[in-house]
Each structure stands twice: as C-alpha cells, then as structure tokens.
Structure 1
Amino acid sequence: MIDLNPKHFETVQHILAKHVPGCEVRAFGSRVKWTAKDYSDLDLAIVGSKPLTLRQTGQLAEAFEESNLPMRVDVLDWHTISEEFKEIITEEYEVIQGSEVVTANEEFRIIPMNSTTKNNRWNIVELGDVVQINPRRTLTKKEKAFHLAMKDVEVYKREIISHSSREFSGSGTRFQNGDTLLARITPCLENGKTVYVDCLKSNQVGHGSTEFIVLSGIEGKTENLFVYYLARDPSFRTFAIHSMQGSTGRQRVDANTLRLYEFPLPPIEEQHGIAHILSTLDDKIELNRQMNKTLEATARAIFKSWFVDFDPVKDKIKGRKPACMDAETAALFPSAFQDSSLGKIPDGWEVGTLGDLSHQPQYGYTASAKDEIVGPKFLRITDINKQAWVDWSSVPYCEVTDKDVDKYRLYKGDVLIARMADPGHGVVIEENQEAVFASYLIRFRPIQDQYARFLQYWLRSNSYWELVKGRELGTTRASLNAKTLSGFPLVIPPLEIVEVFSSQISNLRDRIVANTSETESLSSLRDTLLPKLLSGEIRVNDTNEILEERDGRQS
C-alpha cells in the first residue's frame, strides 16, 4: 500500500494500464515511506523491457496533467536514470503495476491490484459464480413505474436521491430492493456512478437506463450490501474500466467480461460485518450531508424572509408577531414600507450598491500555482466550489514577495467574486489563512465585519444572479469587472439588524463547518477501510480499535 486516497490510486492505475501496459511500475519516495503531505508529488519509475518512446512519455504526462489528481505525478523511465538513482529507488519501493499481462479468458485486463494473492484464508472466486449479474426482474410493458436515469445517480453516492415515474418501454434495466446498479459506460463508470437500491416498495420493480449493469447477491453466498461495496472496491473498478470496449467516448464494459473478475470471498458472516461497518460510515456521512442541507436552507430562508420578502415588516403591518423571532429582534424592524428605485422597501432602509458596503475593490495576484510549499496558499477560481466555502486542503501555493503578501493577503470576512470562467460566483473567507488570491478574483472587503454574512447570502440570491446575467461582458467568454460589480444595487438594512442576522448565520455556519470536517474524516476512513476489508488485509474484528481511536480523536 502507498499513501494515496483509494480513488486517486484507482485513477493512477487506470492511466498506467492504458499508456504503459505490461510495464512494471514502481512507486517510491514520500508516498511509499508514508511521510507525504497532501500536496506531495507521487514519484513513479516505469520498468519496461525497453525505453519508453517520446510518444509514450508525452501521452503519459498529458494524461496525469488532465486527470483529477490533486498532486503532481513525476514519471521516470528506468532505462534513462543513473545507476546511483536506481539504487536509491531499490532501497524502498512499492510495485503498483506488475509486468504480467493476463491472457486466455482474462485477455481484457491487467491483473487487478487487490490482495487476493496475500489472502490464503478465503477462496478466490469469479464474480459470475457468486453474484447475479442482470438478474431477471419482471415488469409489464407500458406499466408506469419507478424510473432511474443516469443523470439521477450521483458520483460515489450510495443513495438514490432523485427519480421519475415513467412507462416501461420493454427495454432497459429492471431492478428491485437490494440490487446494485453499476454504470457501465464511459465516463460514468470511471466517475464512480454506483447506487444501492433500497427505496422501492415491497415487491416493487423499477426500471432505468440501459447503461446500468444490475448486481445482486445469491442467498447463502453473497450479501446484497456486501456486493454494493465490492462494486466500489478500487480493484473491481480498475478491472471493469480496463475491460471496456467500443469506440472512443462510447466505451462500455460487457457483463460477460465482468463475470470473470476474481476476488477473495469472505464467509457470509464476515460479509455482513464488512457491509455493516462501511454502511454505518456511509449513513453518518449522509446524515451530516442532510444536516448541512437543512442548515444551509435555514440560513437562506432567513435571508430571504428578512431581506427579500420583508416578512417581519409585513407581519407588523398586519398586527401579527413576526414568526420565529424574539421580541427584541422584532422591534428592530419597521411597520411600514417606503417607495424606492428597487420598489417597496422597509421604512428607513436604504438603496445602495455593493460598493457602498465595501472598501475599494481589488484584483488578485498573478502567479503560477505550485504543489510545493513555496509561499502562502494561492486561492484561484477553481478552488471555489458551488457551496460558498473553500476546501483549503486542495488549494496550491505560490511564490510571492513579502510586499505582495501584505497587499494580497486574505482575511476572515473578505468577499471574493469571480470575474472570469465562472463570473459572479462568490465566497466569503470564513477563517484566517496564510493565503493570497489570484487575478481572476476580485476582493470586496466589507466596511463593517457584520456585512460579510449579509453579502455571503446576497451573493446567492435570485436578485443578485439576475444582475449577473444582465451585466456579463463579452460574447464568447463572459466576464465581469470591479466597476460593474461595485455598481450592483441592493437594499441595505440598518446595521443593528445585520448584526443579529450575522450572529444567527454564524452559529449555523459553524455547525456546517464542523459537519463538513467530520464528513471528510469519515469519507477518508471509509475509503481506506474498504479495500483492506474486502481483501482480508484487515478483518472485521480489527476495525473496533481503529474506529475507537478515531472517536477518541473526535471527542
């Protein structure tokens, strides 16, 4: 094993098998020694029967650069490095791709990188002997039933989040509770679209895209939920991806080929234990996601009620006590409206602009992003996601002078808005970081700290996005500039109301941040345990100590 997230390891295996099949690949350096940081390079040496061609070297480098890997991958050709360097590598390395190419009935794949050869306690079986593949499920033609499209399946998410009701045409997959649906077409298979069906009524049969393969356990041999996690195993997915056939862009894995996948089959009791451990982690992850969804919806609802619909003012006009509000807060709202350029607004409130609530806007710093720690974090548009928060663990670094650090340093409460690529998308910096921001971002620093939370949710309001869509510059590449953004009009409430709003939202956001942090920890633990449990490297009884140690760190 090397120090690499299982999903990232799967990506590495896929690229290597595609571009250097038949070559032994040795990982060395910090990720083998387990001294790596999140941003550390992955060092690989390709040991082939002959030197790599320039074409192979270029294609391999391009594939790694275009992948979703968060770290740089440095590839060396064994035939071109010095004997001294070979000796250094030989001292400590891990083979992550063998030189053997499987032939005969397994001609479509490289030997999967699982631990079957290490485990002599469990029988090695073929998938088709212990799992039902596309089992027969009966559904009457033209019957209206539960339908699952590929777009309804989220990446690496067990639960079915959305679906529709549609007449069964006579073709497509059919499934019932306990079945696993595996996307078989590119890029959905590579992206990890796999779900477990448990939302149908008793004896109900659903149908879906023809691009699913249905997997189901066999009583006495395989437990249904175990089969789902088997389909999530990096070794299984690598095998499936390498087995894909067809034209570029429309490649699929064939069900008959999938039957040949070999893996160590634990006893049914061990399967139950494995499924229980992994599903418990998934359940907690999903609970955190749902909690965050509710907390975020609550925050947005408060903003809309107070500053868009003006519900407290309307309630007071009608002689009602404002809903979900204490008397002290309610007293801050007026009981009348006034005319303005933006229509009716609460009496005493003002119409202003983003520029009125912020200091002089500032464009960011131009630099090259570095994986190595060469300076402060370097926040770019690509590091800002759609949930209005920043995942600092994946943000790279940059070289910058002390003078420029002082000029572009980010502080808690800074509002950043993208001017290119994703114009209008914005975030608020929620924690102090040793970081600067890139040139495609514009900083608006609030004149009062309390306005940061207000602007955070104004940036997500419909009225703001109507302004964005109406003011984007350019035809082929939309953009915004500081002058345009500064002039965006908005209703400005009194500061004392903004202070109460900021306090309430900060409490909600603190809970969201805590849940997100726990979710990341749980996801990492699940992704680490999954291949080890399925290979037998870790047994179910061994996980108690691991889970207790994690709980101890969390408490």
Structure 2
Amino acid sequence: MESEWKEVEIGTYAKVQGGFAFKGSDFQESGIPVAKIKNVKEGEIDLNDCGFVSEDIATLNSNFYVKKGDVLISMTGSGANAPNSIVGRVAKHIGDDNDFLINQRVGRFLIKDESKLDEEYLYYYLRPKYRQWEFVAIATGSANQVNISSKQIESFIINLPPLQEQKTIAHILGSLDDKIELNRQMNQTLEQMAQALFKSWFVDFDQVIDNALTAGNPIPDDLKEKAERRLALGDKRKPLPEDIQNLFPCSFVFNEELDRWIPEGWRVKSVNDFINVKHGFAFKGEFFSVEPTNDILLTPGNFKIGGGFKGDKFKYYNGEIPSDYILKKNDLLITMTDLSKEGDTLGFPAFVPETKGIRYLHNQRLGKVEYKNEDVGPNYLYYSFCTKRYRDEIVGSASGTTVKHTSPTKICSHKIVKPEKLIVEYFELHCQSLQDRIQENEIQIEQLTTLRDTLLPKLISGEVRVKF
C-alpha cells in the first residue's frame, strides 16, 4: 500500500442515518414508495414489492427521502448460515431525488467531509460480496437473523487514497456501470417493442381493423372504440408493407370459446396442440454449492415479473448431471412455482441465454417447452405466455396458499388464437432480430461486468494505481 493511502473508520468522514420506523398501519396499496430491507439488492435498489405510504405521511417524514447517488445499506437480515445473506448489502440509488423513502433498518451514508471521502468511492469500496461478509462477521444476533448498528458500520475500517484518486477510481468503475445500465435499458426497450408488436397484431388486431376500415366492412360493437382510436391516428397509423398487410383478414367472427371477436379465418387452439411442457430434474441438495461453479440450476428466482430471464440469485451445482437436463441457448422455460403471496412470476416464460463457460440446468418446478410442430414459433408462444388472459388463468387456477403451483396440464390447456402460418413467420423473423440484439447486449453486459468485477478489488486495494 502506498504511503499516501490510509486506514480510517467510516465514521471519521461519514455517518449512517437509519430509516424511519413506519407503523404497519401507515402502509397502503399505493402511494409514495418505501424501500425496505428486501429492496436493497447487491448494487441496486429494486422497488418491486416495496411498501407505500400516503403523501401526507411522506411529507411528515421528508428527511427520509432518498437523493440521487445516495448509498444505502441493509442493517438486518439472514446471518452466516445463509448463503445469500441480506444484512450488509450495499446499493446506490441511480434515479432522481425523492423517488422513495427508506424504512427502518435501511441505512443511508451521509458524508461529513467531502474533501476527504468521495461517496462514489465509498460505494465501490463496500460493494463487493466479500465486504458484505465482513459486515456479517461483526453483526449481532442469532445464526438465522443478525443486526448491524450505525455505530458498528461507522467503526468499519476502510482504505482511503487521496481524494482525487478516489474520484478517478469511482469514475472508472462508474463508467463501466453506466454502460451496463445503458445496455439493460436498451434491452428493456427492445423487449417492449416486441411486446407492443405482439399486442398490436394478435391481441388488439390493429391490422385486421385497418383492413376492415379500408374495405368498408362492419366493425363489431366491441371493437368500435379501438377502430375509432385507429382512425384518430391519421397519418401516424403506419401500415405494414403491403405484402404483409394483405395477409391479415378484413373482417371478424365471434368465437364462443373465447367469448370475443377474432379475425375471420383464424382458429382457436389449445397450447397442447403445439407443445409439451417437460418437468425439470430434482437435483440433489447435497451437491448444491455456495461457491460459484460453471453449472447453474435455474429456479423461479431467475424469472422476471412479466416474463424474461433474470441473471441473479444463481444456485450453483457441483455434482453429476443428467444430459437431458442441460439447457441450450433459447430454450423456452416456464416457471411453475412461486413463493410470493400474489404468485408474481408464476407461469411466466423466459428464454435461456448463452453465457460463456456456463451450463444452465433444467431444475424441478420449471417447465421446458418441447415443440410438437412448427405451426407457432417460440416468440409467439413466449408473448402469449405474457398476456393478461393467460396470466389470469394461471394464477386463478393455481394450487397452494403460501407457495403457489401450476402444472404442464394447466399451461397446455390455455387457448390461443392461431393466425395464418405466414403471419406467425413474419412475426418470428422480426422478433428474432430483436432477440439477437438483446443477446448481443447481454454478452456485452457480461463482458463489462467481468471487467468491472476484476478491476474493482485491484483498484480499491491499491494493487492497480491510476493517474489523476
């Protein structure tokens, strides 16, 4: 360590402000978000499943609003016996000022002397997983639940280079994080584009309405409001290329099974006509690994609310693996179990990504789609499994109370509208180009994340020095 670096307690230049102890009666269904311990993830704030309070209560406790760039830490959680401990997690708010408040046992670092300590540097210094375990080691409580106080956090020793070097280190790591976040946002936009296309073509039937209006065909009463919205778009209503637009019908028929109007000539089929859903393998718990391995058991925790793959909460495996349960890139999975009260991810789909050096494994309680024919493509099925109608069926028919379950039979009994094959092929072609771009971004995210995680410990230890 170079001589100008020094070891100091965090409390020398910063203090930890705990969140407000909101009462249970303060919380309501909607309003101003309140971040709880579980919302402090590794490196980021995830406000899914957060609490809410009224604007009046928020105004009374406005000093607990989080500002852009604030660094938060979880102060209560599972202890050393848990492989994914919650206590000691550090995250940074990258949104705007006053997006949300913090609940009790969520701490916020307040810098006392900005001429000595850079907040961004503090964030990166405390971010690594091994640093979290150092907090777990000094926490008090039982093996299953521990607490760490503001005083304990403030007494934690950190290594500080000169301020300008702190800022340079934070800038390097922050630039990588910014690029990672930009790629994630791009992927979210690409996903939204594909979902919007599916909804337009196969849920709202916009192209069929356009053709019916052009042909002067009657519009069913149930669809007249949509037709008026299409007309109101005027020049903004951009038609598809003529050869594709002409593939869509120009009239509707009423379908008794779905109790709704569908395009004439399109059929209603069960998902079972196109696919089977295969159960995953019950991998043995004795071979689960706390240490990362190249084999990852996918679980319901790897599914996003609304559909899609989530690359965290990995469960590593170090044992024998049946070859039939090694997944391939773009395999389509469906989650069949959910631990949340609302069944947040139950029944949602995800495509298996390609990650260099990693094998993803088909674990139990996940269904793998196996195709019987090519009448519908993977993207058409994927977005069908994201619709509200499908979602209502799956959640409505779920078994269990604390843990909700669905089954291949329930998934495959879902009815979908089957368009002409050429229309589905055009949709698949368009969506595949979006999926390819998403995959390219994911690969870049992986590379940038590896670079950041390699540089971070070297920069904050002084092993690699930077010019400033």
What is the TM-score of this pair, normalised by structure 2?
A: 0.72
SS at match of 1:167: helix
Counterpart check, 1:180 vs 2:106 = no
Corresponding residue for residue 156 of structure 1: 42
Q: CA deviation at 1:330?
A: 1.5
Q: CA deviation at 1:355?
A: 1.6
Counterpart check, 1:349 vs 2:266 = yes
Moved more, 249-258 or 514-523: 249-258
* CA distance in structure 2 between the partners assigned to 1:234 and 1:418 by the alignment: 28
Query: Is the CA contact (8 Å cut-off) linking 1:223 and 1:268 kept in structure 2?
Result: yes
Q: CA deviation at 1:261?
A: 2.0
- Residue by residue over 1:160-210, the C-alpha shift from the partner in whole angstroms, topping out at 9 and shown as x without a partner, is 87997553445974665554232322258536242247722xxx8985323
Counterpart check, 1:487 vs 2:413 = yes
Corresponding residue for residue 335 of structure 1: 250
Corresponding residue for residue 278 of structure 1: 173
* CA distance in structure 2 between the partners assigned to 1:159 and 1:390 by the alignment: 15
Query: Is the CA contact (8 Å cut-off) linking 2:88 and 2:132 kept in structure 1?
Result: no
User: Which of 308, 326, 347 matches 1:388?
Assistant: 308
* CA distance in structure 1 between the partners assigned to 2:282 and 2:130 by the alignment: 41
* CA distance in structure 2 between the partners assigned to 1:399 and 1:214 by the alignment: 44
Unaligned runs of 5+ in 1: 1-117, 136-144, 543-555
* CA distance in structure 1 between the partners assigned to 2:201 and 2:144 by the alignment: 49
* CA distance in structure 2 between the partners assigned to 1:243 and 1:442 by the alignment: 43
- Residue by residue over 1:431-464, the C-alpha shift from the partner in whole angstroms, topping out at 9 and shown as x without a partner, is 7998874564354314107522111111111111
Moved more, 415-424 or 348-357: 415-424
Counterpart check, 1:424 vs 2:347 = yes
Q: CA deviation at 1:315?
A: 2.5
Q: CA deviation at 1:415?
A: 4.2
Q: CA deviation at 1:471?
A: 3.2
Counterpart check, 1:472 vs 2:398 = yes
SS at match of 1:291: helix
Moved more, 461-470 or 424-433: 424-433
SS at match of 2:303: coil
* CA distance in structure 1 between the partners assigned to 2:456 and 2:354 by the alignment: 33
Corresponding residue for residue 103 of structure 2: 209
SS at match of 1:125: strand
User: Which of 96, 121, 136 matches 1:199?
Assistant: 96
- Residue by residue over 1:111-157, the C-alpha shift from the partner in whole angstroms, topping out at 9 and shown as x without a partner, is xxxxxxx554412222222234449xxxxxxxxx9875326944123
Corresponding residue for residue 67 of structure 1: none
User: Which of 107, 118, 124 matches 2:7?
Assistant: 124
Counterpart check, 1:225 vs 2:116 = no
RMSD: 4.1
Corresponding residue for residue 163 of structure 2: 268
What is the percentage of aligned positions where both structures have the same residue? 28
Corresponding residue for residue 43 of structure 1: none
Counterpart check, 1:325 vs 2:226 = no
> Residues 429 and 268 from structure 1, CA distance in 2 versus in 1: closer, same or farther, beyond 3 angstroms?
closer
Corresponding residue for residue 388 of structure 2: 462
* CA distance in structure 2 between the partners assigned to 1:175 and 1:390 by the alignment: 26
**Bigger Rg, which one:** 1
Corresponding residue for residue 46 of structure 1: none
SS at match of 1:220: coil
- Residue by residue over 1:223-252, the C-alpha shift from the partner in whole angstroms, topping out at 9 and shown as x without a partner, is 232232233255653443333235676643
Query: Is the CA contact (8 Å cut-off) linking 1:226 and 1:274 kept in structure 2?
Result: yes
* CA distance in structure 2 between the partners assigned to 1:318 and 1:256 by the alignment: 70
SS at match of 1:499: helix
Counterpart check, 1:508 vs 2:434 = yes
* CA distance in structure 1 between the partners assigned to 2:110 and 2:349 by the alignment: 44
Query: Is the CA contact (8 Å cut-off) linking 2:90 and 2:127 kept in structure 1?
Result: no
Count of aligned pairs between the two proteins? 405
SS at match of 1:264: strand
* CA distance in structure 1 between the partners assigned to 2:171 and 2:383 by the alignment: 39
Query: Is the CA contact (8 Å cut-off) linking 1:453 and 1:505 kept in structure 2?
Result: yes
Q: CA deviation at 1:465?
A: 1.5
Moved more, 390-399 or 177-186: 390-399
Unaligned runs of 5+ in 2: 19-30, 79-84, 215-230, 339-344
What is the TM-score of this pair, normalised by structure 1?
A: 0.62
> Residues 499 and 287 from structure 1, CA distance in 2 versus in 1: closer, same or farther, beyond 3 angstroms?
same
SS at match of 2:269: strand
- Residue by residue over 1:272-330, the C-alpha shift from the partner in whole angstroms, topping out at 9 and shown as x without a partner, is 10110111111111111111111111111111111111111122323368546333222
Query: Is the CA contact (8 Å cut-off) linking 1:125 and 1:264 kept in structure 2?
Result: yes
Query: Is the CA contact (8 Å cut-off) linking 1:351 and 1:491 kept in structure 2?
Result: yes
Structure having greater relative contact order (Cα 8 Å, sep ≥ 6):
2
> Residues 385 and 474 from structure 1, CA distance in 2 versus in 1: closer, same or farther, beyond 3 angstroms?
closer
* CA distance in structure 2 between the partners assigned to 1:395 and 1:486 by the alignment: 30
> Residues 371 and 175 from structure 1, CA distance in 2 versus in 1: closer, same or farther, beyond 3 angstroms?
closer
Query: Is the CA contact (8 Å cut-off) linking 1:216 and 1:227 kept in structure 2?
Result: no
AA at the equivalent of 2:96: C
